[in-house]
Amino acid sequence: MSTIAPSSEALPRSPDQSQEGRPHWGASRARLGSSLLTLHSVVMYLFLWIPIVIVVFFSFDKSRFLTQFTGFSLRWYGEMFRDQQTIVALWNSIFVAVVSTAISTVIGTLAAMAMERYNFWGKLGMEGLLSLPIIIPDIAMAIMLLAFFNLSGIGFTPWRIEFAGLRLNVPYSVIIGHVSFNISFVAVIVRARLADMDAALEEAAQDLYANPWQTFMRVTLPMMMPGIVAGALLAFTLSLDDFVITFFTSGAGFNTLPVRVFGLVKRGVTPKINAISTLMLVGSLTLVLIALAFQRRSGDKDSMLGSIGL
Q: Residue 162: helix, strand or coil by DSSP? A: strand
pLDDT at 249: 86
Confidence of residue 107 (pLDDT cuts 50, 70, 90): very high
Instruction: Delimit the domains of the chain by residue range.
Output: 83-307
The CA-based angle 102-120-191, given to 5 degrees, is 40
pTM exceeding 0.85? no
pLDDT at 296: 67
Torsion of CA 249, 252, 256, 260, to 10 degrees: 130
Q: Give mean pLDDT, residues 54-83.
A: 76
Q: Give mean pLDDT, residues 116-139.
A: 83
Q: Give mean pLDDT, residues 106-130.
A: 85
Angstrom distance (rounded) from CA 117 to CA 65: 58
Q: Which residues contact 13 (CB under 8 A, 6 or more apart)?
A: 19
Question: Angle between the 221-241 and 84-117 helix axes, to the nearest 10 degrees?
Answer: 140
pLDDT at 309: 36
Strands (E), the chain: 158-163, 166-171
Q: Give mean pLDDT, residues 22-50.
A: 78
Angstrom distance (rounded) from CA 99 to CA 235: 11
Domain 83-307: give its CATH code. Answer: 1.10.3720.10
The CA-based angle 254-257-261, given to 5 degrees, is 100
Q: What is the pLDDT of residues 240-255, one digit of tens each?
A: 888 899 888 887 778 8
pLDDT at 77: 80
Confidence of residue 102 (pLDDT cuts 50, 70, 90): very high
Confidence of residue 304 (pLDDT cuts 50, 70, 90): very low
Q: Residue 269: helix, strand or coil by DSSP? A: coil
pLDDT at 227: 84
Q: What is the pLDDT of residues 204-238, one digit of tens each?
A: 877 777 788 888 888 888 888 888 888 888 888 88
Radius of gyration of the chain (CA): 28
